């Protein structure tokens, strides 16, 4: 095994019970009234509206893009979502559907979700997706290599992916559910940022547990320390498992109190989710109309 590189020496240990307690405290924040409305709109604008299924088709992707541009026709004041996230072969369809909307187009690549293709094929997949019009790439790291202690390998693969992205933004998926310990999450976060990630992202959404507030907090703290050390801002994307507006708000509280208001922006924080959008829309409708909403009034795409 190679020696631990210098940059990893920055990774402090993480105490899991402390993380759990801190998250519990974030969850006691009670977000009401105007704060709630502005928070929900913000969350909507940070959505990476995602479809990553074997049965994805151009028709499905086009519908999703409509939703991304106009989440709720009943309330034109709402922002569009942050991005649409699809497989590489769906990028061209989405690119056409989103043209001129301001909605970013993200594509998973690099043998998503396992990452177990050859490095050459994985890099080629990135170049293909970017060529088709993706301006954001969500890559997966080689978790097996990471867990075997081959940190240099993972560092190099991220750096290579970053290079393959060109001007597209790189989100590095750690798949925290497979890393298991918070120390691993912290170490992988530090490694990814040093290797050139623009965003770090919790999960593929293809396994449980996906994003949790706990791993997100660990990653936010890594981002904060990296920013302190280098001055470079890194984005954060929890993905999978965030299904309701209340949970989304508690993530935003966490971002606000750990990283500060500078990160409360779709450029620096995204939610990877599919069903979250409608719950946010329903909560916003409740705030607007004063009565509780029904799912019948919001589109399932």
Partner 1 sequence: MAAKKKNKKATVAPSPADNRDFRTGELYAPAPEARDHATIEARYDLFIGGKFVPAENGKVFATVNPATEETLSEVAAAGAADVDRAVAAARKAFPAWSRLKAAERGKYLFRLARLLQERAREFAVIESLDGGKPIRESRDIDIPLAAAHFFYYAGWADKLAYAFPGRNVAPLGVAAQIIPWNFPLLMAAWKIAPALACGNTVVLKPAETTPLTALKLAELIADADLPPGVVNILTGNGSTGDALVRHPDIDKVAFTGSTAVGKRIQKALAARGTPHTLELGGKAAHIIFDDAPIDQAVEGIVNGIFFNQGHVCCAGSRLLVQEGVAGTIIRKLKRRMETLIVGDPLDKNTDIGAINSRAQLERIRELVDSGVREGASLHQSAQPLPAKGYWFAPTIFTDTAQSQRIVQEEIFGPVLTISTFRTPDEAVDKANNTPYGLSGGVWTDKGARIFGATRALRAGVVWANTFNRFDPASPFGGYKESGLGREGGLQGLAPYLHLLP
Partner 2 sequence: MNERLPVLKTYKLFIGGKFPRTESGRARALKGKAGRLIANVSLASRKDFRNAVVAARAAFPGWSGATAYLRGQILYRAAEMLEGRAAQFADELNAQGTPPARARREVADAIDLLVHYAGWTDKFPALFSTVNPVASAHFNFSVPEPTGIVAVIAPPAPGLLGFIAAIAPVIAGGNTAVALASPDFPLSAISLAEVLHDSDLPGGVVNILTGDLAELLPHLSTHMDVNGIAAHGQSDETHRLLRENAALNIKRLALHPATNLSGDPYKILAFQETKTTWHPTHLR
Active-site positions?
138, 201, 237
User: What, of partner 2, partner 1, none, does residue 231 touch, CB below 5 to 8 Å by kind?
Assistant: none
DSSP 198: S
Using CB under 8 A, pick the residue from 257, 289, 295, 297 that binds partner 1: 257
| Residue 28 touches partner 1, criterion: CB under 8 A | yes
Angle CA 79–242–221, to nearest 5: 95
Rg of the chain, C-alpha, whole Å = 19
The one of partner 2, partner 1, none whose footprint includes residue 20, by CB under 5 to 8 A per kind, is partner 2
Please report, as residue ranges, which positions from 200 to 239 form the binding site for partner 1 (by CB under 8 A): 221, 228
Strand partners, 239: 272
Choose the contact partner of 181 out of partner 1, partner 2, none; CB within 5 to 8 A by kind: partner 2
User: Considering CB distances under 5 to 8 angstroms, the limit depending on partner class, which of partner 2, partner 1, none binds residue 180?
Assistant: partner 2
Q: Look-up: residue for tokens 């019970």?
A: 17
Q: How far is the CB of 15 from partner 2 (least distance, A)?
A: 6
In angstroms, the CA 176 to CA 270 distance is: 17
Which residues are CB-neighbours of 25 under 8 A, at least 6 positions away? none
**13 sits near partner 1 (criterion: CB under 8 A):** yes
Stretch that binds partner 1, among 6-14, 61-69, 94-102, 285-293 (CB under 8 A): 6-14
9 in contact with partner 1 (CB under 8 A): no
DSSP 99: T
Measured in degrees and rounded to the nearest 5, phi and psi for residue 297 equal: -95, 5
Q: Are strands 235-237 and 47-50 parallel, antiparallel or unpaired?
A: unpaired
- Single out the segment in contact with partner 1 by CB under 8 A; choices: 32-40, 81-89, 119-127, 292-300: 32-40
- Residue 167 CA, distance from chain mean position: 19
Can residue 265 be called a binding residue for partner 1 (CB under 8 A)? yes
d(CA 44, CA 49): 10
Binding site for partner 1 (CB under 8 A): 12-15, 17-19, 21-22, 28-36, 38-39, 42, 221, 228, 252, 256-257, 260-261, 264-265
């Amino acid at each position: 095994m190679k020696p631990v590189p210098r940059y990893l020496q920055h990774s402090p240990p993480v105490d899991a019970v402390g993380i759990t307690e801190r998250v519990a405290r974030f969850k006691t924040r009670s977000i009401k009234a105007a704060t709630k409305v502005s928070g929900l709109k913000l969350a909507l604008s940070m959505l990476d509206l995602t479809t990553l299924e074997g049965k994805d088709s151009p028709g499905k992707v086009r519908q999703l893009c409509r939703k991304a541009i106009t989440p709720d026709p009943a309330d034109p004041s709402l922002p569009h979502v942050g991005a649409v996230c699809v497989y590489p072969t769906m990028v061209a369809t989405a690119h056409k559907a989103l043209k001129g909307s301001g909605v970013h187009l993200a594509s998973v690549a690099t043998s998503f979700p396992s990452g177990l293709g050859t490095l050459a094929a994985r890099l080629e997949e990135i170049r293909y997706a970017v060529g088709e019009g993706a301006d954001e790439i969500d890559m997966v790291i080689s978790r097996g290599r990471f867990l075997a202690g081959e940190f240099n390998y993972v560092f190099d693969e991220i750096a290579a992916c970053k290079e393959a992205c060109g001007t597209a933004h790189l989100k590095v998926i750690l798949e925290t559910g497979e890393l298991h310990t918070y120390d691993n999450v912290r170490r992988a976060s530090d490694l990814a940022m040093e290797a050139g990630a623009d965003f770090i992202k919790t999960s593929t959404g293809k396994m449980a547990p996906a994003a949790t507030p706990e791993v997100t907090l660990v990653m936010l703290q890594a981002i904060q320390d990296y920013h302190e050390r280098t001055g470079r801002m890194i984005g954060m994307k929890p993905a999978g498992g965030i299904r309701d507006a209340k949970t989304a708000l508690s993530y935003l509280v966490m971002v606000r109190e750990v990283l500060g208001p500078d990160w409360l922006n779709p450029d620096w924080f995204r939610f990877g989710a599919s069903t979250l959008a409608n719950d946010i829309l329903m909560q916003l409708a409740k705030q607007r109309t004063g009565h509780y909403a029904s799912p019948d009034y919001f589109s399932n795409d």
